[in-house]
Amino acid sequence: MTASEVTASPASYKDTLNLLQTPFNMRANAKQREPEIQNFWAQQQLYERLSQAPGGESFTLHDGPPYANGALHVGHALNKILKDIINKYALLQGKRARFIPGWDCHGLPIELKVLQALSSSERQALTPISLRQKAHAYALEQVEGQKTGFRRWGIWADWDQPYLTLNKDYEAAQIGVFGQMVLAGHIYRGLKPVHWSPSSRTALAEAELEYPDGHTSPSVYVAFAVRELPGPLAAKLAATGLLQDTGLLQDTGLPQDTAPAPGGLAVAIWTTTPWTLPANLAVSVNGSLDYAICRVSVPPAAPAGEGPEAAPSARPSHLLVAKDLIASLETSLGLGLEPLLTLKGSELEGIVYQHPLFERSSPVVLGGDYITTETGTGLVHTAPGHGVDDFNTGKTYGLPVLCPVDEAGNLTAEAGPFAGTNVLKDANGAIIAALQEAGALLAEQRYAHRYPYDWRTKKPTIFRATEQWFASVEGFRSQALAAIDAVTWTPESGQNRIEAMVRDRGDWCISRQRTWGVPIPVFYHRETSEVLVNADTLAHIQALIAEQGSDVWWQREEAGLLPPAYADQAHLWRKGTDTMDVWFDSGSSWAGVLGGLAAANVGTSASNIARAAYPADLYLEGSDQHRGWFQSSLLTSVAVHGQAPYKRVLTHGFVLDEKGRKMSKSLGNVVDPAILVEGGNNEKQEPAYGADVLRLWVSSVDYSADVPLGPGIVKQLADVYRKVRNTARYLLGNLHDFDPRPQAEGGHAIAIEELPLLDRWMLQRTAALIDGVQADFESYEFYRFFQALQNFCVVDLSNVYLDIAKDRLYVSAAGSLRRRSCQTVLALVVERLAGLIAPVLCHMAEDIWQNLPYPVAEASVFERGWPTVPSSWRDTSLEAPLGEILALRAQVNRQLEACRKQGGKAAGIGASLEAQVQLELAPGEGTAALRQALALLEASPHPSVDNLADWLLVSAVQFGGQAPEALLAEASDNGVTVRIARAEGSKCERCWHYESDVAEHQLSATAAGQICGRCRSTLEG
Ligand SMILES: [Zn+2]
C-alpha cells in the first residue's frame, strides 16, 4: 500500500498519518542477511577496488599468522576483528589498506597431529618426505577451515592470496633472512644448555615454554666434603685455631698438608634437580656475600626418626654456608649450626671438594649476582651442561660442558651407575638414595616452584647442552634496543616489556630436531664435522627452494643441493637435519610478505605498488607476543637491516569469562564464536546473533587489558545492536517519500541555513559525533566509539530529536516545511550514521545503505568514504542554549512521570499530550541562561517547529500568570517552578493534541471524528 492509496479512501484518521515505511527489518536476520551482504561485496569487488585504488596513501597492517591448527576461538575474533576495524576505517579514509592474511604452517603440533593419525605400522614406514607431505596437506586443510570462519566475520583481506609460511616464496625469503644473518656473522653453532623437551625430543624456545601451577621438585641439601683449602684460607683458619680446635686437620703440619679430615668441613649445596649432580663440576659462590664455617650439632630436642638418616660417622662436623641463611638452614636441616668464622665469598675461591658420588674433585669458583641468599645455602651446585648461569660461570673457569643426558632424558654412560635412568622419572630417586648411602644427604624436601614445561606436550623440560644453531643476540642487542625506542608502542607499557626481554635475553637457539619445517641450510664435513655455509651455498639453496619448496632439502642428495662449484666434493659433505624454530619462520614475514629483503636490495620504487610495505605501519597482536612474534620479527629485521619491521605496535589482552576466569571446557564458560554468530542447535537457547554483534563486542571492550565475554555481555550487546538498528530503521522509515535533492532542483531538501533551530542543533550534534568518533578511531580507542554511538542513538536521536519529531513526521502534511525539514535532517544523519558504524557494524551499515529509499551515487556505503560534514552544520553556539532547554525538558518529564505514577486526582494522565504546563522562572542570574535560551527559541522564524510545547510534548505551555486550576503536580528546581495540569480543550482524534478548536469532521463517506483545526487544514489543505 502506498500513502496515496490510503488517503484516497481513509477508513480512520490513522490512515491519514505519514507512517513508517521501509523494507529495512527490525530483526537483523543476520544468519541469512549477512552472507547476502558479503556476496554483494564480493560481486562488487569492493575490498579489491578500494584497497588498490590508485592515488591513495598506502596503509599496511601486517597480519601476525595464527597457527594453522584447530577451530577458531574468541581470541581469534578479538584479534582479527580489531585488525578489520582498523583496516575498514583506513579504507573509508581513502587509504590503500591491503590486508594479507597469514598462517603459521610448520612446527611440532602439526607434525604430532599427523603422527597421531597414523597406525604404528604406518608410522614405521613413514619417510621424512611423506611425513612432510601429510603435514602440508593437513596445514592447508586447517587454513581453509579457519579462513571460512574469518570470512564469515566480515573480515576483508586478500583471502585468495594469503601468505603461508609453507609457500615456496615465503620459505625462500626466510632462507634469505637466515643467509643475511649468517653473512653478517650473527649465526653460530655451539654446545650450549638449552631448554630441552625430552617428551618432544627437541630444543625449545622461551616462547614454547609454559609454567603451570603446582609443580614441585625433589630438592636436596648435599654436603660436599672439602679436600683442600687455598693457602690464605688455610692460614686464616689456622690462625684462628679453627683447623686444630675443631679437628678439621688430623695433621696440623702446615702448609705441607692442608687437607681437613673426611667428615670434617663440607660445603653445603642445595638443588631442585638432583639428576644434574652427576654433571657437577664446581660449586659457585657470590664473592661479595658473607659465608660462615659452622659447627654442626644434632639438637637434643630433635625427635628421633626425623631428618636425614645419614650415618653419624659420615656427617661433616662443620658446614660452610651463607651467613644470612644459618637460621633457616637450622630449620631445614634439623641441625644446630654454630657460626665459628665469617668469610667473604671471594676468600672461598680455590677450595677443592670431593664429588660425593664420583671419584673426582672439583673447585669452588666465583659465580655472579645470580647467587643470592633467598633460598638454598648460598653455595650453588654448578653443572655447566645443565644451566645457563652454570655454563657461563664454567666458561670463565674453563670447565668442560659435561652433559650425561641423552635426547630422551636418559642418563648416559658418563653418569656411571645411574646410566639408563630417566631424569624426569627414576634418576632423582636413584641419586638421592646414593647420596644417602654416601652420607652426603643433609636433607630432602619437595619444593614448589615455577618450572618450565613444554607448551605442547605439557611435560616438564630440562636444561641440556647440545650442538645447536644460535642467533647471537649479543651481536645486535644495542641496535635492537635502539630500534625498540624508534617504534610507537600502544599501550606504552609494551615498550618496557619488550625492552626488558631483549636486554636480558640470551642468544636465540634457532635449530630444532624436527622434520616439518624449513631446513637449516648447512652441510657438515663427513669426517671433520666442519660446517659449510657461505654466500654461494646459501644463494644456491635459496634459489632451489624458491623453485621447488623446502621439500627439496629432503628429496635430494647432497650433490643435488650443493652449488656447481662443489660438484666434485659432494661426497665429502652431509646435509644438516635440523629445521628452524617456527618463530624464525613467522619472524621472517617482514621479508616473506612485506618484501623487506627486496626493498633493501633494490630500494623503494615509487611506481611499484606492492601489496604491502616494509616497514609495516602496524603490527597488532596479543600482549604475549612481546615474547613471541614482535620479538622474533624485531630480532631478524634488526640483524639484517638495523631497524624494526614495524612503525607501531598495538597489543590486546586475552579474553576471559564474565567473572575474569580463563575460558576452559572444564569450567563450561567457553564462548564459541561460531555459535554466537550462527546460533546453536537449539536457537531458542543459542540464537544466531550474527557477526555484527561479535564485532560490536570487540569494539566495546578496552582491549589494552584482558577483556570479558559471556552470555550476559552478549545479551547486552544484542540490545545495543537492536537500539542502533531500530534507530536506523526509524530514520529510513520516515524517508520513503523524500527526494534528497534541493528544492531548487525539484527535490525536497531544505537548505541548511533555512532549517529550524532544533534541526540545526541535531546537525551540530552529528558533526560533533563524527569528530569524536574519528578521534577515537585514530587513537584506536574503539570502546569510546561504542559509548558515543550508544549515547547518540539513545539520547540525542531517540530520546530527544526523534521523540519531538514524531508529530512533525506523522501529523504534518507530507510536503509541509515542518516535515520536509525534519526529513532533510534524517537523510543527512542516516547516511552519516551508516558511514560511522561501517568499520564495526559493517553488515548493518551496508544494509542501511542498501535500504536508502532514494538513489545515491555510491553502490556501497564504503564507497561513500568516511563521513564528513560541511561547515554549515557546525554551530557550537547552539549547544549551550539547547542544553538549557533540554534540561528543562527533563525537569518537566520528571513531573509528568510523577503524575503518571500518581493515583487520585492525577489519575488518567497517560500521554504527555494530555497535560499542560505552567512555568515560572525566578528572577536573577540562576535562570538567566534559560531565559536567553527561551528567547532564542521565541525568536526562531520557524515557530511551527521551534516551540516549547512541541519540544515538551505537551498540549500547552504557559509562562507565569495564573496557575491552572486542579494542579496535578508542582515542583521547583534551580529557580524554575513547573506546574502540571490536565490540558484544556478536547482530544483531537488524529494528532492526540488537546485543543480548544476540536470539532466534528467528516473524513469520508463512512468515517467521521473530532479533530483539531490544525489537522483540519492539513487534511483539507
Ligand atoms: Zn489534530
CA-closest candidate to residue 177, choices 632, 647, 648, 646: 632
Going from the Cα of 797 to the center of ligand 1, the distance in angstroms, rounded, reads 24
Decide if 735 contacts 852 (C-beta within 8 A).
yes
Measured in Å, residue 1015 CA sits from the centre of ligand 1 at 4
* Centroid of ligand 1 to alpha carbon of 941 (angstroms): 22
**What separation in Å is there between the alpha carbon of 914 and the centre of ligand 1?**
13
Backbone angles phi, psi at 119, to 5 degrees: -75, 165
* CB-based burial label for 893 (10 Å; 0-12, 13-18, 19+): middle
pLDDT, the chain, mean: 91
How many angstroms does the Cα of residue 740 sit away from the middle of ligand 1?
Answer: 28
Question: Separation of 990 CA from ligand 1 center, angstroms?
Answer: 5
CA of 1017 to the centre of ligand 1 (A): 9
b/e burial code for range 919-935 (CB count within 10 A of at least 16 → b): bbbeeeeebeebeebbe
The pLDDT of residue 255 is: 41
Q: What is the mean pLDDT of residues 104-116?
A: 91
Mean pLDDT of 300-308: 50
Nearest one of 774, 507, 485, 497 to 621, comparing CA atoms: 497
pLDDT (tens digit, 9 = 90+) per residue, 398-432?
Answer: 788 888 999 899 999 988 899 999 999 999 999 99
Report the pLDDT averaged over residues 523-528: 95
Cα of 736 from ligand 1 centre, angstroms: 23
Q: Which residue has the higher pLDDT, 573 or 203?
A: 573
Backbone φ and ψ for 229, nearest 5 degrees, come out as -115, 145
Closest among 781, 821, 794, 792 to 944, alpha carbons compared: 821
Residues in the chain: 1021
Ligand 1 geometric centre to CA of 737 (Å): 22
Distance of CA 800 from the midpoint of ligand 1 (Å): 22
Contact at 8 Å (CB) between 985 and 901?
Answer: no
914-973 pLDDT, tens per residue?
Answer: 999 999 999 999 999 999 999 999 999 999 999 999 999 999 999 988 888 888 899 999
* CA separation for the pair 732, 722 (Å, rounded): 15
C-alpha 689 – ligand 1 centre gap (Å): 42
Q: Is pLDDT above 90 for 489?
A: yes
Q: Which three cell numbers stand for residue 129?
A: 618426505
Expressed in angstroms and rounded, the spacing between residue 78 Cα and the centre of ligand 1 is: 52
Residue 277 CB partners (closer than 8 Å, separation 6+): 222, 271, 356, 357, 381, 383, 431, 435
Distance CA 55, CA 65 (A): 29
pLDDT of 51 above 70: yes
C-alpha of residue 992 to centroid of ligand 1, in Å: 6
- Report the 10 Å Cβ neighbour count for 178: 31
Give 1016 Cα–ligand 1 centroid separation in angstroms. Answer: 7
991 alpha carbon to ligand 1 midpoint, in Å?
4
Q: If you measure from the C-alpha of residue 730 to the centroid of ligand 1, how many angstroms do you get, rounded to a whole number?
A: 22
* DSSP-derived secondary structure letter, 906: G
Query: For the whole model, what pTM was predicted?
Result: 0.82
Helix H or strand E encompassing 724? helix 711-733
Task: Using the mean position of ligand 1's atoms as its centre, give its distance from the Cα of residue 1009 in Å.
Answer: 11
Report the distance separating Cα 985 and Cα 998, nearest Å: 8
pLDDT interval class at 591 (50, 70, 90): very high
Q: For residue 912, how far is its CA from the centre of ligand 1 (angstroms)?
A: 15
Indicate the range of 344-348, 799-803, 826-830 predicted with least confidence. Answer: 344-348
What distance in angstroms lies between residue 953's CA and the mean position of ligand 1's atoms?
14
pLDDT of 213-260, one tens digit each?
A: 989 999 999 999 888 888 888 888 888 877 765 555 544 344 434 444
> How do residues 185-223 score in pLDDT, each as one tens digit?
999 998 888 899 999 888 887 767 889 998 999 999 999
* CA-CA-CA-CA dihedral for 927, 929, 930, 934, to nearest 10: 130
Across-strand partners of 61? Answer: 618
Q: Determine the distance from the C-alpha atom of residue 470 to the mean position of all C-alpha atoms in its chain, rounded to a whole number.
A: 29
What distance in angstroms lies between residue 232's CA and the mean position of ligand 1's atoms?
113
| Residue with grid cell 620479538, as numbered in its chain | 631
Question: What is the mean pLDDT of the segment spanning 727-733?
Answer: 98
CA–centroid distance, residue 823 to ligand 1 (Å): 21
What's the burial of 35, exposed, middle or buried (CB within 10 Å: 0-12/13-18/19+)?
Answer: middle
- Cα 17 to averaged position of ligand 1 atoms, centre (Å): 11
Ligand 1 centre distance from Cα of residue 758 (Å):
22
Average pLDDT for 254-270? 62
State the distance from the centre of ligand 1 to the C-alpha of 905, rounded, in angstroms.
26
Q: Tell me the CA–centroid distance for residue 19 and ligand 1, in Å.
A: 16
Q: Is 977 helix (H, G, I), strand (E, B) or coil?
A: strand
CA of 751 to the centre of ligand 1 (A): 28
Distance CA 663, CA 707 (A): 12
Q: How far is the CA of 911 from the centre of ligand 1 (A)?
A: 15
Ligand 1 centre and the CA of 728: distance in Å?
27
Residue 310's pLDDT is 43
> 1013 C-alpha vs ligand 1 centroid, how far in Å?
7
Nearest C-alpha neighbor of 717 from the set 148, 81, 91? 81
Beta strands 282-285; 361-366: pairing state: parallel
| CA of 809 relative to ligand 1 center, distance in Å | 13
With residue 283 as reference, give the H or E element that holds it. Answer: strand 282-285
* Span from the CA of 1003 to the centroid of ligand 1 (angstroms): 13
Q: Per the structure block, which three cell numbers stand in for 104?
A: 603459521
pLDDT digits (tens, 9 = 90+) for 547-569: 999 999 999 999 999 999 998 99
Close Cβ partners of 150 (under 8 Å, ≥ 6 residues apart): 72, 76, 80, 101, 157, 159
Kindly compute the dihedral angle of the four CA atoms of residues 951, 952, 955, 957, in this order, to the nearest 10 degrees.
-100
pLDDT at 608: 37
Percent of the chain scored above 90 by pLDDT?
73
- d(CA 63, CA 523) in angstroms, rounded, equals 34
Ligand 1 centre distance from Cα of residue 997 (Å)? 9
34 pLDDT higher than 50: yes
Ligand 1 centroid distance, CA of 754 (Å): 26
382 in helix, strand or coil? Answer: strand
pLDDT of 732 higher than 60: yes
- Residue 312's pLDDT is what? 45
Q: What is the DSSP string of 812-839?
A: S-TTSHHHHHHHHHHHHHHHHHHHHHTT
646 secondary structure, DSSP code: B
- 413 and 358 in contact (C-beta within 8 Å)? no
Nearest to 782 by CA among 848, 695, 846, 864: 695
Residue 257: CB partners within 8 Å, gap ≥ 6?
Answer: 249, 251
CA of 275 to the centre of ligand 1 (A): 94
How many angstroms separate the alpha carbon of residue 434 from the centre of ligand 1?
104
CA of 995 relative to ligand 1 center, distance in Å? 8
**271 CA distance to ligand 1 centroid (A)?**
92
Q: Tell me if residue 337 falls in helix, strand or coil.
A: strand
For a pLDDT cut of 70, what percent of the chain falls above it?
A: 94
**CA–CA distance, 120 with 34 (Å, rounded to integer):** 46
923 touches 997 (CB < 8 A): no
CA of 982 to the centre of ligand 1 (A): 17
Quote the ligand 1 centre to 18 CA distance (angstroms).
14
Least confident of 249-253, 289-293, 781-785, 847-851: 249-253
Say if residue 690's pLDDT is above 90. yes
DSSP calls for 429-488: HHHHHHHHHTT-EEEEEEEE----EETTT--B-EEEEEEEEEE-GGGGHHHHHHHHHTSE
Q: 178 pLDDT band (50/70/90 cuts)?
A: very high
38 has a pLDDT exceeding 90? yes
pLDDT value of residue 244? 64
- In whole angstroms, give the CA distance from residue 646 to residue 630: 9
Give me ligand 1 centre to Cα 806, in Å: 13
What spacing in Å lies between the alpha carbon of 993 and ligand 1's midpoint? 6
Residue at grid coordinates 650450549: 192
CA of 778 to the centre of ligand 1 (A): 49
